A and B are shown apart, each in its own frame.
Chain A
């Protein structure tokens, strides 16, 4: 029980590390996912191909392999960044593929006529997507995007294996200090629960506010 109280700052650092990874990677994943979803429904063929390739490659690569590729691969091409930034890049890009597909399924739930009506009024592709289609798609993608971000929070544990400070990695320090491993993991689990339940709560609020009215 005293694992937590004795090592509060270690847990705290790990917790904040995971929060930071989750937050930044989420923003990156949402922005990239939004962009890729736009590409995948764009009237320009080359953009559609790019979006499809992005999703196919990132969604089908094991996340650990992607971490190796980014953290060990990119420095070989002269791109040297802090490991934490690399971890955010890997997590964000990986998750963006899933966000893209969730958004795209939402776009497909909006009747075709909505976009046609917007275009027939002289709106550009960007306007009809941004003003008419996506606001309606948004309502139906709140639950799957929430799930994807929760998965992102848990996937961030992989960064610990690459010496980025995060929650799961704290067990190594603590077990070396001789603390009971079971209790260590219990408190780590509680830490993850706080983050994932917070994401759930946020998306519940969003859904109540914006969800599809039936």
Chain B
């Protein structure tokens, strides 16, 4: 186990009306750890990911980030969200802003950096994800894979302590998936703390420290990728793996 916990969930429960989507979730993510969350659709893995920066509220339990409990609303919550980057399935780049403005906006408005400094840093980050030449374009002019890499650069621009990925490659054409996964692998390699909800088993195997398998709102298994993929303990996980690894 990691010595230094960054994200800690204790007995977290969430309901959508009657539906108990998160059931007694306990999860600790250490600094620099890469945790991949997998599971069938409707298992609550996206909800779990979104609960960590309170895009979803929870009914009971506690979520702590770097030792601080998640604030309810207002300034304190905004401050904390700035420390946790999020990458969405549908990219969610600001449609009315250029690529460069997308990456710079929150640096200027939230981090209070000077426009020039923010743009300079944005260009460095865009270069890192291989998109510096696209800076003056609008998101709609970019391919899905490019948009998602811009979204990662935008999250990195805040210098977050951790990054959350909510199915970052699920809306992409197969040939664009790799360019995004490559950027994520590089981040994992550089020691970024990451929680990744994904269906990419290859990424889970190669980049994750731990695999968390969820089904029906519960964490069913929480182990190293090697152990999980070669020797899953539960029938639920065996069943899931047999379905997705067949082809």
Q: Which residues of A contact B (CB under 8 A)?
A: 43, 111, 113-114, 116-124, 127, 131-132, 135-136, 139
Contacts and interface: CB of A to CB of B under 8 A. Distances in A.
B78 interface: yes
Contacts of A113: 88, 90, 92
Given A114-B92, A114-B94, A136-B96, A119 B75 contact: no
Most buried by B among A114, A122, A127, A139: A122
A205 to B, nearest CB: 19
Nearest to B90: A113
Query: Chain B interface secondary structure, helix, strand, loop or mixed?
Result: mixed
A120 B53 contact: yes
B94 A122 contact: no
A124 B75 contact: yes
Interface string B91-130: 0111110000000011001100000000000000000000
Given A116-B92, A120-B53, 7 more contacts: A117-B88, A118-B94, A121-B82, A123-B110, A124-B74, A124-B75, A131-B109
Contact of B82 (A122, A131, A135): A122
Contacts of A116: 55, 86, 88, 92
A122 B95 contact: no
B85 to A, nearest CB: 7
B73 interface: yes
A122 B78 contact: yes
Contact of A122 (B74, B90, B106): B106
A132 B94 contact: yes
A136 B85 CA distance: 23
Given A117-B88, A119-B78, A122-B79, A127 B109 contact: yes
Main secondary structure of the interface of A (DSSP, over half): helix
Contacts of B105: 121, 131
B84 to A, nearest CB: 8
A198 B82 CA distance: 46
Interface of B: 53, 55, 73-75, 78-86, 88, 90, 92-96, 105-106, 109-110, 151, 154-155, 158
Contacts of A117: 86, 88, 92-94, 151
Contact of B106 (A121, A136, A139): A121
Contacts of B96: 135-136, 139
Contact of B95 (A120, A124, A127, A136): A136
Contacts of A132: 94
A175 to B, nearest CB: 53
B73 A43 contact: yes
Given A116-B55, A116-B88, A117-B88, A123 B109 contact: yes
Contacts of B92: 111, 113-114, 116-117
A123 B95 contact: no
Nearest to A115: B92
A139 to B, nearest CB: 8
Contacts of B79: 122
A117 B97 CA distance: 13
A124 B55 CA distance: 13
B88 A122 contact: no
Contact of A121 (B73, B75, B95, B154): B154
Contacts of B73: 43
A106 to B, nearest CB: 13
B90 A121 contact: no
A120 B85 contact: yes
A131 B109 CA distance: 9
A45 to B, nearest CB: 11
Given A124-B75, A127-B109, A119 B90 contact: no
A170 to B, nearest CB: 45
